[in-house]
Amino acid sequence: MKSTVSEKGQVTIPKALRDKLGLRAGQVLEFEARGGALVARKRKGPGRAVDRLFGILPHVDVDKEIERFRGKPWNPQEDSPRANRR
């Protein structure tokens, strides 16, 4: 993967690497030069309290949960007594 250094010294980390390494907006990185290579790593430390909690809960499909709470949508063919009242 390649990326170009801008005039301001900024580099875009390719999305595939951001996803693989769990990098999100606001993530602090530490840089060092090692053997002629630029090495970046996520900054260690406590960070923000909300960042420490990220990822501890299982993934939830919001659409499925809303459907579960609301129940099936009304269908006049399945509910003929109610359909006649409308």
Q: What's the whole-number mean pLDDT along residues 4-25?
A: 92
Mean pLDDT of the chain: 84
C-alpha span between 27 and 50 (Å, rounded) = 13
Inter-residue contact 4 to 14 (CB < 8 Å): no
Supply φ then ψ for residue 68, to 5 degrees: -65, -40
For residue 40, what are the β-bridge partners? 31
- For residue 83, pLDDT over 60 is answered with no
Give pLDDT, residue 45.
66
Domain ranges of the chain: 15-85
Dump pLDDT digits (tens) for 20-47.
988 888 888 999 999 999 999 888 766 6
